Amino acid sequence: MSATAEERPAGAGGLLGARLWRSGAGRPPLLATAICLLMVVAALGGGAIAPYVPDEADFTAILVPPAWAEGGSLAHLLGTDQLGRDMLSRLIAGARISLLTAGAAVLAGGTIGVTLGLAAGYLGGVVEAVIMRIVDAFLALPFILMALAFVAALGTGVGNIILVMVLTNWARYARLVRSEVVSIKKRDFVLLARVAGLRPWQIALRHILPNALTSILVLAVLDVGRAIILESSLSFLGVGIQPPDVSWGLALAEGRTYMTVAWWLTVWPGLAIVLAVMSFNALGDWMKAGFDPRGRL
Binding of other proteins at residue 237 (CB under 8 A)? yes
Binder of other proteins out of 233, 289, 292, 297 (CB under 8 A) = 233
**Judged by CB under 8 A, how many residues of this single chain contact other proteins?**
44
- In the bound state with other proteins, the residue whose beta carbon lies nearer, of 9 and 155, is 155
Given the complex with other proteins, which of 189 and 258 has the nearer CB atom? 258
The upper half-sphere exposure of residue 106, i.e. CA atoms within 13 Å in the direction of its Cβ, equals 22
Write the CB contacts of 286 (distance below 8 Å, at least 6 apart in sequence).
Answer: 20, 25, 26, 28, 29, 32
> Cα separations (Å) of 254 from 42, 90, 265, 266, 267?
22, 12, 8, 9, 12
Q: Counting contacts by CB under 8 A, is residue 239 touching other proteins?
A: yes
DSSP-assigned letter for residue 80? B
140 binds other proteins (CB under 8 A): yes
The yes or no reply on residue 249 touching other proteins (CB under 8 A) is yes
| 158 binds other proteins, rule: CB under 8 A | no
Site for other proteins contains 229 (CB under 8 A): yes
Return the number of the residue (122 or 236) whose C-beta is nearest other proteins. Answer: 236
d(CA 35, CA 6): 32
157 or 238, CB closer to other proteins? 238
Under the criterion CB under 8 A, does residue 143 sit at the interface with other proteins?
A: yes
Q: Are 286 and 31 in contact (CB under 8 A)?
A: no
69: contact with other proteins by CB under 8 A:
no
Q: Based on the shown chain and the rule CB under 8 A, indicate whether residue 211 belongs to the binding site for other proteins.
A: no
Q: Which stretch binds other proteins (CB under 8 A): 129-137, 177-185, 194-202, 213-221?
A: 129-137
Taking residues 274 to 293 in sequence order and writing x for each that binds other proteins by CB under 8 A, - otherwise, the string is x--xx--xx--x--------
* Intra-chain end-to-end CA distance of the chain, in Å: 13
Applying CB under 8 A, which part among 75-83, 88-96, 179-187, 259-267 lies near other proteins?
A: 259-267
CA distance linking residue 125 with residue 113, whole number of Å:
18
Closer to other proteins by Cβ: residue 39 or 209: 39
Cα distance between residue 35 and residue 250, in whole Å: 22
Planar angle of CA 185, 190, 196, nearest 5 degrees: 145
Is position 242 an interface residue for other proteins (rule: CB under 8 A)? no
Q: How many helices (H) and strands (E) does the chain have?
A: 12, 0
CA of 283: how far to CAs of 84, 164, 292, in Å? Answer: 36, 25, 14
CA distances from 115 to 55, 58, 83, 191 (A): 40, 49, 47, 21
| Residue among 151, 193, 224, 251 that touches other proteins (CB under 8 A) | 151
- Which residues of this chain interact with other proteins, rule CB under 8 A? 133-134, 136-138, 140-145, 148-154, 225, 229, 232-233, 236-239, 249, 252-253, 256, 259-260, 263, 266-267, 269-270, 273-274, 277-278, 281-282, 285
